[in-house]
Amino acid sequence: MGALCEATGAEVRAVAIAIGIDSRIGLKFLHAGPGCGGSCFQKENLNIVYLFRHFGLPDVADYWESGGDGEHLAAAPHGAHGSAEAVRNGDR
């Protein structure tokens, strides 16, 4: 989400607060954990992959499209956590 916030100019903390306020998500889901899932996971994953591609973050999109297994991350030239500017410029 940080890469998407950077690419769109959104303040990551404000986005996190907004996500935490949503009663369907809540504050307890704002920090990474050992796994995720649920009946809407595939749909939501496809939505976020679309947004990453739309905002010029193909490596981040590829990472999430692969299921986030780390294999794609290791193979990506600038990784899934590179800055949006570096991704756009091919610097990393």
- As annotated, the active-site residues are 40
Contact 57, 4 (CB under 8 A): yes
Residue 3: how many other CB atoms lie within 10 Å: 22
Calpha distance 23→21 (Å, rounded): 6
SS3 call for 79: coil
